[in-house]
Amino acid sequence: MHGLINRAIEMFVRDTYGRKAWVALALHCDLGFNEVEAMLTYEDDITLALLHELAREQQKPVETLSEDIGTYLVSHPNCERVRRLLRFSGDNFTEFLRSLDDLPARARLAVPDLILPRLELREHNLQHFSLKVVHGPDLPPVFGHALVGLLRAMADDYGALVVLDHKGGSAGTEVISVDLLEAAFAEGRSFALGQVPG
């Protein structure tokens, strides 16, 4: 798994549960290091070990934690860069949804060895969408849960009111339903193309 994904877990733990919690987690998972390198690639096992050990320590299901990580990536001030890069995808939440098919290609454009699961959006009508997440059959369905958290935070960011539901899935795929109740429900957070991220 790419270092950026493990680094996201590390930053989530550090910013949510504190530095000590991260150091303990790294120790319990036998990482052998205290800081993930965002630009290196790690064995897939490490990512899953981190998630499962964190779930055990926090007594929360892995699915819930994955969702929290997705939300964290968009809403935490330390992740402003991620939020900005996602906001480049569209002017409103519908446009953002329609750009999700391109998300893995967009990620690869920035970091060529960052491989993300394939995303397929189906537009049932202007309010109802479903998003299929396609990854290798050897990966457990945690990515979709992280995506639910991320989409929820992005809807907030655009000021849209949505209902999201992880519908489960079969080997290698997950399905998320997206109901857009109101596109302009609240003000949303500002985004300027030319703003320099802090």
Partner 1 sequence: MSAPETDLAAMLDTLCPMHAILSPTGHVRHAGPTLTKILGDPPVTGRRFLELFELLRPSVPASMTSLCGIAGQRLHLRLRADPRSEMKGVLMPLPGGPDGALVVNLSFGLSVVDAVRNYALSNADFAATDLTVEMLYLVEAKSAAMEASRKLNLRLQGAKIAAEAQAYTDTLTGLNNRRALEPVMSRLIEAGEDFALMHLDLDHFKSVNDTMGHAAGDHVLETVARILRDETRAGDTIIRVGGDEFVLIFAPLIRPGNLGDIAARLIRRLEEPIVFRDRICRISASLGSTLSRDYDDPRIEAMMEDADIALYAAKDGGRGRHVAYAPALRARAGAHVAQRRQQV
Interface ranges with partner 1 (CB under 8 A): 37-40, 81, 84-85, 88, 90-91, 106, 109-111, 192-197
Copy the structure tokens of residue 106: 């967009």
Report the residue number, 169 or 188, with the smaller CB distance to partner 1: 188
Q: Give the C-alpha distances (Å, rounded to integers) separating 51 from 35, 87, 92, 149.
A: 16, 27, 32, 15
Smallest distance from the beta carbon of 86 to partner 1, in angstroms?
Answer: 10
Smallest distance from the beta carbon of 33 to partner 1, in angstroms?
Answer: 11
Long-range CB contacts (< 8 A, 24+ apart) of 98-104?
Answer: 98/123, 100/131
- DSSP conformational letter for 142: T
Report the residue number, 92 or 173, with the smaller CB distance to partner 1: 92
Residues in the chain: 198
Contact 16, 68 (CB under 8 A): yes
Report the residue number, 4 or 65, with the smaller CB distance to partner 1: 4
Report the residue number, 81 or 122, with the smaller CB distance to partner 1: 81
Smallest distance from the beta carbon of 187 to partner 1, in angstroms?
Answer: 16
Between CA 120 and CA 132 the distance in angstroms is: 5
Smallest distance from the beta carbon of 152 to partner 1, in angstroms?
Answer: 22
Copy the structure tokens of residue 140: 């457990």
